[in-house]
Amino acid sequence: MSKLYAQCTNQCPVIANVEINSCVGVITIGVTGDGPFTYSWEDSGGNIVGTSFIVPGLAADDYTVTVTDKDGDTVTATYTVTNPPNLVGSVVVNDVTCRGDSDAQVIVTMANGSPDYEWELFNGSMNSIGTGTAPPFSNIITLNGLGVDNYTLSVTDDNGCTGDITFSVIEPADFLGYSIGASSDATCFNSSDGTLTATGTGGWGNYVYQWERVSDGAVVGTSSTVTGLPAGDYRLVITDRSGTGCTITTPNQTIGSPPEIIPSANIDDALCNGDANGSIDLSVSGGVAPYSYSWSNGA
């Protein structure tokens, strides 16, 4: 209240309480004294804007009310409606997990206004796609299950102040995929020197790799290339966004090995003691031909 005047012959009317809501442009007064009362509200330009104890639809301005009781006694007061604050908030967007998903989460923390908050969400075509309220006494609005689009969140606080908050949900340009690289089998039967290579493609990047043995799911490597493998079947699980995003699994990759080397000997002994006319005819299967031989008498 900036000004108050009274002119009375008997008991003056008293403006006992005032409520100014600049958010919705409403002034409400309570008057005591010899009623009934009449009211006349004027804006700063002298225009009549209301004739009741409550006057709605006011723009920012100074407003003067004259209250008259049944005896003709009056009281005059001036009140100010200010420009309402535009509600604002900070936005954290957790984009979709995989291209094509609709699982984004958006957390909006209101920076001003008064709880409780009501909201309505509009998509990029400005079609309403949802309404709700923040938890009681909370300034946090959580939105779940959003797909790729541009959004406008219209928020209204407990005083009727409003604000529009815009944000976008995006997705990776390409689906998460993989590229199978060079591999090498184990060099020998029962050796453990096989190698597999694969790399992630598309998605959000920042790939995390996990090579698994198909037979039991055991983890055998955590980089794009895994070495020291025995013969068997393996698969690579790739997860983007540093392990928190989309996941893809390659088809089984096989490490082979040569069959076991198996010698077969046909032996002819020496004819007499001291003779050097014995022979060994050796045949070999398995392994990888051609073979090389090194004979020794064990000495």
pLDDT tens string 192-202: 999 999 999 99
| Tokens 């959000």 -> residue | 204
Check: pTM over 0.85? Answer yes or no: no
Model pLDDT for residues 72-102, shown as the tens digit of each residue: 899 999 999 998 888 999 999 999 999 999 9
CA dihedral 55, 58, 62, 65 (to 10 degrees): -10
Please tell me which residue, 293 or 132, carries the higher pLDDT value: 132
Q: Which CATH number fits domain 177-255: 3.90.700.10, 2.60.40.10, 3.30.70.2610, 3.40.50.11400?
A: 2.60.40.10
Q: How far apart are the C-alpha atoms of 151 and 102, rounded to whole Å?
A: 14
pLDDT at 7: 56
Please tell me which residue, 274 or 183, carries the higher pLDDT value: 183
CA dihedral 208, 213, 218, 221 (to 10 degrees): -40
Cβ-proximal residues to 47 (8 Å cutoff; 6+ apart), any chain:
none
pLDDT at 299: 62
Whether the pLDDT of residue 5 is over 60: the answer is no
Over residues 148-168, the mean pLDDT reads 95
Whether the pLDDT of residue 183 is over 70: the answer is yes
pLDDT at 2: 45
Q: How far apart are the C-alpha atoms of 215 and 192, rounded to whole Å?
A: 16
Confirm whether 3-81 and 177-255 share one CATH topology.
yes
pLDDT at 10: 66
pLDDT at 8: 62
Whether the pLDDT of residue 269 is over 90: the answer is no
In which band, very low, low, confident or very high, does the pLDDT at 23 lie, cut at 50, 70 and 90?
A: confident
Over residues 120-146, the mean pLDDT reads 97
| Tokens 């010698």 -> residue | 263
Cβ-proximal residues to 244 (8 Å cutoff; 6+ apart), any chain:
none
| Tokens 């409003």 -> residue | 162
Other Cβ atoms closer than 10 A to 270: 11
Collapsing DSSP to helix, strand or coil, 82 comes out as: coil
CA dihedral 40, 44, 49, 53 (to 10 degrees): -50
Q: How far apart are the first and last CA of the chain?
A: 118
- CATH class of residue range 89-169: mainly beta
**Would you list the domain boundaries of the chain?**
3-81, 89-169, 177-255
Please tell me which residue, 112 or 247, carries the higher pLDDT value: 247
- How many degrees, rounded to 5, is the angle at CA 7 between CA 9 and CA 2? 155
Model pLDDT for residues 227-242, shown as the tens digit of each residue: 999 999 999 999 999 9
Specify the length of the chain in residues: 299
Give the CATH number of domain 3-81. Answer: 2.60.40.3080
Q: How far apart are the C-alpha atoms of 76 and 74, rounded to whole Å?
A: 7
Whether the pLDDT of residue 167 is over 70: the answer is yes
Over residues 123-142, the mean pLDDT reads 97
Percentage of residues of the chain with pLDDT beyond 90: 72
pLDDT at 85: 80
Model pLDDT for residues 210-227, shown as the tens digit of each residue: 999 999 999 999 999 999
What's the whole-number average pLDDT of the chain?
92
In which band, very low, low, confident or very high, does the pLDDT at 256 lie, cut at 50, 70 and 90?
A: very high
